């Protein structure tokens, strides 16, 4: 039986295969002590059993890398493809609301879904829209600027960037002060953010 | 003992529980991917992705993977070609 330390074959192998040993996969595989010993074993005593052991360890290790990479990239690309597909379908088949409900009918889906309000509140002060007294108090405590932003975003339905354009400020400023205002309202009403819908 | 991914993949060919275990292992990755799409489509996408994973897990040929010495030979060829 050859002693572990003076196995010359192994040293020769190491010397001759620097490129191979620097391969990231192999490097990582051999950084595990027991794998390293398996390699040494199978070079010094190249029995079928030793080779098989090394192969088995390597397969398990290599499989993990390949399989994880394969699954991850599949998830990534498949998601992109599906997203593209959905967007394409939405583009090709937009929801049409102004077609007649039935043939020879005057009413379209649009007419049925629109809610005709006979009374419309017209005010540019957000306080006029609030019916709940607690929320009214909370909103009243905000700065006029914050109230204005809330009005534009939630009553007028503008996006943050549209509001920013309108007020000649940056979008970051708007979303910051909007969130700050909401936070203050929440605090005022004693609602934790998790139980809150806005 | 916790089964390795390799054992699960070998089993997955005729054991649907193993497939579910692999799916669960990759769930965080799926969830992360879902964030890139709009909220309305997330559960649709989730379902589609899981479906796709089931097919590719079942199709994945575990036997085809190189052993250590096969890998060694391939790498050797690769370096020789480069020189």
Residues A86 and A141 placed together within one structural domain of the fold: no
Q: How many domains does chain A have?
A: 2
Which residues, at least 6 apart from A21, have a Cβ–Cβ distance to it below 8 Å? Answer: A14, A27, A30
Q: What is the CATH number of the domain that holds A159?
A: 1.10.10.10
Cα–Cα distance list, A18 to A11, A33, B56 (Å): 11, 18, 36
Percentage of residues of chain A with pLDDT beyond 70: 89
Residues A30 and A78 placed together within one structural domain of the fold: yes
Where among A42, A68, A90 does a domain terminate?
A90
Find out whether A125 and A149 touch, Cβ atoms under 8 Å: no
In a domain, A104, yes or no: no
Q: Which residues, in sequence order, are bridge partners of residue A108?
A: A100
Cβ contact (<8 Å) for B48 and A75? no
In a domain, A177, yes or no: yes
Where among A90, A107, A138 does a domain terminate?
A90
- Kindly report, residue by residue over B28-46, the tens digit of the pLDDT: 989 888 887 878 888 888 9
Q: Which residues, in sequence order, are bridge partners of residue A100?
A: A108
Q: Is the pLDDT of residue A31 over 60?
A: yes
Burial class (CB in 10 A: 0-12, 13-18, 19+), A155: middle
In a domain, A76, yes or no: yes
Q: What is the pLDDT of residue A86?
A: 87
Find out whether B55 and A73 touch, Cβ atoms under 8 Å: no
As for the ipTM of the complex, it is: 0.82
Cβ contact (<8 Å) for B53 and A74? yes
Residues A64 and A136 placed together within one structural domain of the fold: no
Closest CA to A69 of B60, B74, B47, B24: B60
- Kindly report, residue by residue over A45-100, the tens digit of the pLDDT: 878 888 888 888 888 888 888 888 999 999 999 988 988 998 898 888 887 777 77
Residues A72 and A134 placed together within one structural domain of the fold: no
Structure token pair of residue A87: 């967007």
Residues A15 and A72 placed together within one structural domain of the fold: yes
Q: Is the pLDDT of residue A1 over 80?
A: no
SS (H, E, C) chain A: CCCCCCCHHHHHHHHHCHHHHCCHHHHHHHCCHHHHHHHHHHHHCCCHHHHHHHHHHHHHHHHHHHHHHHHHHHHHHHHHHHHHHHHHHHHHCCCCCCCECCCCCCCEHHHHHCCCCCCCCCCCCHHHHCCCHHHHHHHHCCCHHHHHHHHHHHHCCCCHHHHHHHHCCCHHHHHHHHHHHHHHHHHHHCCCHHHCCC
Q: How many domains does chain B have?
A: 1
In a domain, A95, yes or no: no
User: Is B62's Cβ below 8 Å from some Cβ in A?
Assistant: yes
Interface test with A, best of B30, B36, B68 (most A CBs within 10 A): B68
In a domain, A47, yes or no: yes
User: Is B78's Cβ below 8 Å from some Cβ in A?
Assistant: no
Where among A90, A118, A148 does a domain terminate?
A90
Q: What is the pLDDT of residue A170?
A: 93
Q: How confident is the model at residue A2 (pLDDT cuts 50, 70, 90)?
A: very low
Full domain range(s) for residue B10: 5-82
A152 vs A193, which has greater pLDDT? A152
Full domain range(s) for residue A185: 126-195
Q: What is the pLDDT of residue B34?
A: 87
In a domain, A105, yes or no: no
Q: Which of A57, A63, A82 sits opposite B45 (nearest CB)?
A: A82
In a domain, A107, yes or no: no
Q: What is the pLDDT of residue A197?
A: 57
Find out whether B6 and A55 touch, Cβ atoms under 8 Å: no
Output the average pLDDT for chain A. 82
- Kindly report, residue by residue over A118-145, the tens digit of the pLDDT: 666 778 888 888 888 888 888 888 999 9
User: Is B48's Cβ below 8 Å from some Cβ in A?
Assistant: yes
Cβ contact (<8 Å) for B48 and A55? no
In a domain, A52, yes or no: yes
Contacts of B56 in chain A (CB under 8 A): 70-71, 74
Q: Is the pLDDT of residue B71 over 70?
A: yes
Q: What is the pLDDT of residue B1?
A: 45
Cβ contact (<8 Å) for A76 and B36? no
3-state helix, strand, coil in chain B (%, to 5): 75, 0, 25
């Amino acid at each position: 039986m050859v002693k572990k330390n003076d196995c010359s074959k192994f040293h020769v192998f190491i010397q001759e295969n620097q490129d191979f040993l620097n391969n990231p996969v192999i490097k990582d595989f051999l950084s595990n002590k027991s794998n390293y010993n398996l390699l040494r074993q199978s070079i010094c005593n190249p029995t079928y059993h030793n080779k098989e052991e090394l192969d088995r360890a390597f397969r398990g290790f290599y499989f993990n890398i390949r399989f994880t990479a394969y699954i991850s990239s599949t998830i990534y690309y498949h998601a992109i493809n599906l997203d593209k597909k959905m967007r394409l379908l939405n583009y090709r088949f937009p929801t049409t609301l102004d077609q007649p409900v039935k043939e020879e009918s005057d009413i379209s889906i649009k007419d049925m879904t629109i809610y005709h309000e006979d009374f419309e509140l017209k005010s540019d002060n957000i306080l006029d829209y609030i019916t709940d007294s607690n929320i009214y108090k909370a909103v009243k405590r905000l700065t006029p600027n914050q109230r204005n932003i809330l009005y534009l975003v939630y009553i007028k339905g503008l996006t943050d960037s549209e509001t920013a354009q309108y007020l000649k400020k940056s979008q970051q400023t708007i979303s910051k002060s909007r969130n700050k205002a909401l936070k203050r309202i929440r605090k005022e009403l004693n609602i934790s953010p998790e139980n809150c819908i806005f | 003992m916790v089964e390795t991914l390799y054992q699960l993949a070998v089993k997955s060919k005729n054991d649907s529980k193993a497939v579910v275990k692999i799916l669960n292992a990759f769930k965080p990755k799926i969830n992360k991917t879902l964030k890139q799409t709009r909220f309305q489509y997330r559960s649709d996408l989730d379902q589609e992705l899981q479906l796709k994973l089931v097919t590719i897990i079942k199709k994945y040929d575990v036997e085809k993977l190189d052993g250590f010495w096969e890998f060694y030979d391939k790498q050797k060829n690769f370096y020789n070609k480069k020189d």
